[in-house]
Structure 1
Amino acid sequence: MSSISSDTQSPSLTCQQCHQPLLLDPSFQNLTPAQYTLIASSLPSAGPSSGLPSSSKLAQLPPTARPAAEIWSKKRGNPSGSGVAESFIMLDQSQSQSHATSRASYQPTSTYTSSADAGPSAPRQGLSSTELAETLHRLISSKTPISHPICVECITLLQSELQTELDELQKERDAYIAFEQGILRNREVVQGGRSKTAQKEREKHTKGKGKGRAMEEVQGVDEGLGEFDMEGTQEEWDMLIRRKKELAEEEERLIAELKKREGDLEAVREEEEGVRRDEEEVDREEQDFLLNHHALSTQLRHLQQALSSAETHLLLSKSLLQHLESTNVYNDAFQIGYVPLPSRTDSPSLSHVGGSSSGSGYVGTINGLRLGGRPVVDWDEINAAWGLVALCVDRVAARVGFTFAKYKIQALGSNSLISELPPSRQTYELYASPDLSAFLHNRRFSTGLICLLDCIRQLVEFGQKSTRGWPVGNLEIRKDRISGYSIRLPGLGMSMGLSMMGLGGSGSSGDDGGGREAKVRGAELSPDEHWTKACIAVLKVLKQILIAESEAERGNVAAAAPTVEASRAA
């Protein structure tokens, strides 16, 4: 669509079909009153006025328009309303919409009457070409079934539709004409045949009867023939009657078949209703099954998770059990070994213990604390190591259920003690002091070591006599010696004092082959090295005891495992 200028544009100039804005043709823009009158006179006239009475016409008016029509009729002096109904034209939907749009957009400018029998009148003087075009559009819309104005595209489509409708009507008209001509030809043939038959009958009756009576009978025969009897022959009528009977019979048969089918349909509907109820029941059962299945699946998943957790715990427990079975508890509690002892030049502060230097060798350790190795190792470390030795001996004796005769060990770390049982009640220290003023203390320390060694001897004899069978090798414990090495604390002053008291000496009557062997080795080792060797021998005995006890414990666990499994299975 082309744009519309401000002077020619109007709100009502929209296509009544596609509702698009329109631009008037130049011929309409310059429309004259003469052209308007010519076009209006060429329009088809409205249909004849209705023959219905005025009351019926008023009844046909819309309910909202009846009061106004009666008032208008009374003012015109027509109480019956005879002229009221004649003043209205019944419009179709498209025309009413067109007039409604025109009334909403413009003031009435038409100068023609809306009466059904009124013709077009001359336009009012002074109207512009645009107003004439609008008036002409309303006039054309009122006298044709098409609402105006309309665009060129819609006119083309409308023309195509009307042409198609025209072609169909022409074909229908041609079919009716051909049918009418066929009926006329058939009627002429039938009339010709019946005329000949009537002539023969007339001649036959004339011979036997009077002429007047014969003519009356023939006329009666002719009068008995209806107009539609000439539409076909007797054979055709018989065929049609038979066909009618056949169709009636077929109709009865089809009605019966329909009733039967309706009965079957009712049965099928009942069956369908039953199937629907069964389906609902199956759906409910399926829903219940799915809910139960979901609940069981959830429970099964939880049980599987619990089973997996239990299997994991079992695997961890087996791994822990295997680790514990392979663990030497005593070795973990008391780790006994040895380390090399470096050489060290004696300092003046160590001159009181005698000996110039300590040669390189090994020293025993318990839990990392060196036992022996004087003068390289300090007394604090040695005292702590003797405290662990005392604790180890006391705990092993308690574990195997052995009670020492004459002695009681008090494991107090670096200040451990060993006491004689009544009636003596003497207590000896298991720790020494490097101070020269503690000479008597160190003598008690040596006595305490001899008592501890005696406790170890009693424990070994108990293990060898019992079913434990502790193997201690060729280690021999006799009085203050172990494997030929004296456990007494070395030192010049202490050795002299012990010799004067008759508690030691290499030439004592109690010395055996081990003592002689120690005398031979004594020519090669210093006193501190002798004491260190004795300490190493003590640790060896404890190590063998711990290994034997660990193997015994492991054997007891292995023997008890089948019993535990059997009890669990039961």
Structure 2
Amino acid sequence: MAAGGESSNKVVVSFTCQRCQCPIILDHSFNSIDEHTLAELHLPLYAPPPLELGEKAVDSGVIDKYVPPVSDNENHGFTIVGGSELTSQQSQLLKTHMELFDILSNNTEIDHPLCDECCDTLITLLESEQRAAEDECKQYEDFLKKLESESDTEDIETLEAQLKDLKVEETKLVVELRELKVDETNATEALESQRKQFRQLKEQEEEFMKEYCRHKRELNELEDYSQSLDYELRYAEAQSERLEKTNALNATFHIWHSGHFGTINTFRLGRLPSEPVDWNEINAAWGQCALLLNALARKINFKFSNYQIVPFGNHSYIKASIAGFNVLADNSELPLYASGGFSRFLWDTKFDQGMTAFLDCLNQLQAAMLERPGQSGFALPYRMAEKGKIEDTASGKTYSIKIQLNSEENWTKALKFMLTNLKWALAWVSSQYVQEEIVGSTSTNTSTISKAY
């Protein structure tokens, strides 16, 4: 219950709906109810049936529905939410209204007051309950009429025959039930046996699966190892094929040029006033040339006439002899190295003799190459003459390989031409070596095939 504002322009709200809690504005006719009307309203609307408590009440289907009133404090009934100072007239009216709603609530199972919407909803619900009760009552009446119309006399013999048949059928069903119970017991035992066997098979399956996984892992490891070996074999075959195609002489001795200098394995051969190459580098280059020329001669089974090249790093030299006798007696070793200083070469000509002997050995190697069948037209690009001379066939100029009475520029150019001839000789020997290998492998395969047949 709530009270509105004290202003005359505002509507006083004293009650709320006990269902939806909405404020209710009462009709003005509620203000004119006298005591006689209230006394008549106190009379019961209908005589309620005696209320039975306990198990009988539950069995009979009577359920007491109690809807407590809405209140925000400990007091029951309606709640006053208006001002605390009410006039005596308002108190009297409010008391009358409260008494009226208490009468309505006591005579019904529904708490009052209710708003219009809740009243409509309640009426609809009561009407549906009324229709359901009327339908149920009609069904009872129809059933009662049907019972009254049926005859009370029945054929007893027919019923006894039916009873006898039912007892025989009951006996059969009991026997069948016993058999089914026996079958059920046997089936249960068989099922338990099958379950036990299933558990055993499950354990065996797990063991087999573990064994399978172990073998599968070993197989994968073996396959990985086999694949790894296959890759290693392919790599080894590729390396072998590459090495077979690679010429050891070409890979070992790289002859090229660097500006005005000829180089062998990056060692420069020669000197210029503008670029004074260290003599250790020149001696190392001569050692590489001596090693290469000696290797080419051995490759084609050729021996130099009157000379023997001794590769000894940056102190390589050439032994000179005629018919087993030394040309220079005690000084038969012709060095391919020097310590520097052109003034020294004016008095010591062994270095010049060694370079001249090296050029003569290269010329002998060219002659040996020409003696090979099918090589009559072969020639090195620069013609080598006697006494350490090398000729540029393009310009016709001749350069001396000696240092004595020679300029550094001409000496360097002569050494460059000599390295070019040496590179050509290396290429020729390499090509001959490859051809011999091809012929040798072909003959080997042919002999193998002939032996197989």
TM-score class, shorter-chain normalisation, is 0.5 to 0.7
SS in 1 for 2:47: coil
Deviation of the 1:34 alpha carbon: 5.3
Q: Answer 1 or 2: which has greater helix percent.
A: 1
Instruction: State yes or no: 1:166 paired with 2:134.
Output: yes
Instruction: Give 2:87's aligned residue.
Output: none
Instruction: Give 1:133's aligned residue.
Output: 101
Amino acid at match of 1:528: S
The correspondence for 1:424, drawn from 323, 326, 330, is 330
Residues 443-522 of structure 1: matches in 2 within 5 Å? 443-452=349-358, 485-488=385-388
Amino acid at match of 1:328: N
Residues 92-171 of structure 1: matches in 2 within 5 Å? 94-95=64-65, 97-99=66-68, 107=75, 127-130=95-98, 132-134=100-102, 136-141=104-109, 151=118, 152-171=120-139
Q: Judging changes above 3 Å, is the alpha-carbon distance between structure 1 residues 401 and 158 closer, same or farther for their aligned structure 2 residues?
A: farther
The correspondence for 1:412, drawn from 313, 317, 341, is 313
Instruction: Give 2:345's aligned residue.
Output: 438
Instruction: State yes or no: 1:317 paired with 2:226.
Output: no
Q: Distance in 1 between matches of 2:50 and 2:270?
A: 150
Q: Distance in 2 between matches of 1:324 and 1:394?
A: 23
Residues 51-62 of structure 1: matches in 2 within 5 Å? none
Instruction: Give 1:528's aligned residue.
Output: 400
> Are the aligned partners of 1:446 and 1:487 in contact in 2 as well (CA < 8 Å)?
no
Q: Distance in 2 between matches of 1:7 and 1:427?
A: 142
Amino acid at match of 2:235: L
Deviation of the 1:171 alpha carbon: 1.2
Q: Distance in 2 between matches of 1:254 and 1:8?
A: 75
SS in 2 for 1:428: strand
Deviation of the 1:126 alpha carbon: 7.4
Instruction: Give 2:88's aligned residue.
Output: none
> Are the aligned partners of 1:374 and 1:528 in contact in 2 as well (CA < 8 Å)?
no
Q: Distance in 2 between matches of 1:551 and 1:326?
A: 12
The correspondence for 2:245, drawn from 306, 326, 345, is 326
Instruction: Give 2:153's aligned residue.
Output: 232
Q: Judging changes above 3 Å, is the alpha-carbon distance between structure 1 residues 541 and 254 closer, same or farther for their aligned structure 2 residues?
A: closer
Residues 166-185 of structure 1: matches in 2 within 5 Å? 166-180=134-148, 182=150
Deviation of the 1:129 alpha carbon: 1.2
Amino acid at match of 2:289: V
Deviation of the 1:327 alpha carbon: 0.8
Query: How much is the aligned-residue C-alpha RMSD, in angstroms?
Result: 5.9
The correspondence for 1:392, drawn from 292, 311, 329, is 292
Q: Distance in 2 between matches of 1:25 and 1:181?
A: 58
Amino acid at match of 1:137: S
Q: Distance in 2 between matches of 1:255 and 1:548?
A: 112
Q: Judging changes above 3 Å, is the alpha-carbon distance between structure 1 residues 374 and 21 closer, same or farther for their aligned structure 2 residues?
A: closer
> Are the aligned partners of 2:293 and 2:362 in contact in 1 as well (CA < 8 Å)?
yes
SS in 2 for 1:424: helix
TM-score, normalised by the number of residues in structure 1:
0.49
> Are the aligned partners of 1:338 and 1:364 in contact in 2 as well (CA < 8 Å)?
yes
Q: 1:273-328: CA deviations, max 9, x gaps? A: 55555555565556556655555555555554444444333333322222211111
Residues 341-420 of structure 1: matches in 2 within 5 Å? 366=264, 385-393=285-293, 409-413=310-314, 416-418=316-318
> Are the aligned partners of 1:370 and 1:385 in contact in 2 as well (CA < 8 Å)?
yes
Instruction: Give 2:171's aligned residue.
Output: 252
Instruction: Give 1:218's aligned residue.
Output: none
Q: Distance in 2 between matches of 1:239 and 1:395?
A: 135
Q: 1:85-109: CA deviations, max 9, x gaps? A: xxxxx996552x425x579966356
> Are the aligned partners of 2:287 and 2:312 in contact in 1 as well (CA < 8 Å)?
yes
Alignment coverage as a number of residue pairs? 384
> Are the aligned partners of 1:28 and 1:130 in contact in 2 as well (CA < 8 Å)?
no
Q: Distance in 1 between matches of 2:362 and 2:317?
A: 15
> Are the aligned partners of 1:371 and 1:536 in contact in 2 as well (CA < 8 Å)?
no
Q: Judging changes above 3 Å, is the alpha-carbon distance between structure 1 residues 397 and 488 closer, same or farther for their aligned structure 2 residues?
A: closer
Q: Judging changes above 3 Å, is the alpha-carbon distance between structure 1 residues 158 and 279 closer, same or farther for their aligned structure 2 residues?
A: farther
SS in 2 for 1:98: coil
Deviation of the 1:330 alpha carbon: 0.6
Amino acid at match of 1:486: E
> Are the aligned partners of 2:104 and 2:111 in contact in 1 as well (CA < 8 Å)?
no
Q: Distance in 2 between matches of 1:544 and 1:130?
A: 135
Q: Distance in 1 between matches of 2:94 and 2:216?
A: 95
Instruction: State yes or no: 1:242 paired with 2:143.
Output: no
Amino acid at match of 2:330: S
Q: Judging changes above 3 Å, is the alpha-carbon distance between structure 1 residues 48 and 537 closer, same or farther for their aligned structure 2 residues?
A: closer
Q: Distance in 1 between matches of 2:250 and 2:180?
A: 101
SS in 2 for 1:127: helix
Amino acid at match of 1:386: W
Instruction: Name which one, 1 or 2, has greater alpha-carbon Rg.
Output: 1
Amino acid at match of 1:327: T
Q: 1:141-195: CA deviations, max 9, x gaps? A: 3xxxx77778343552353244224312331233124413545xxxxxxxxxxxx
Which runs of no fewer than 5 residues in structure 2 stay unpaired? 5-10, 79-91, 403-410, 446-453
Amino acid at match of 1:30: F
Amino acid at match of 1:446: D
> Are the aligned partners of 2:15 and 2:113 in contact in 1 as well (CA < 8 Å)?
no
Which runs of no fewer than 5 residues in structure 1 stay unpaired? 51-56, 62-89, 111-123, 184-230, 343-362, 476-481, 491-517, 562-570
Q: Judging changes above 3 Å, is the alpha-carbon distance between structure 1 residues 295 and 538 closer, same or farther for their aligned structure 2 residues?
A: closer
Q: Distance in 1 between matches of 2:227 and 2:113?
A: 87
Q: Judging changes above 3 Å, is the alpha-carbon distance between structure 1 residues 92 and 291 closer, same or farther for their aligned structure 2 residues?
A: farther
> Are the aligned partners of 2:317 and 2:334 in contact in 1 as well (CA < 8 Å)?
yes
> Are the aligned partners of 1:470 and 1:548 in contact in 2 as well (CA < 8 Å)?
no
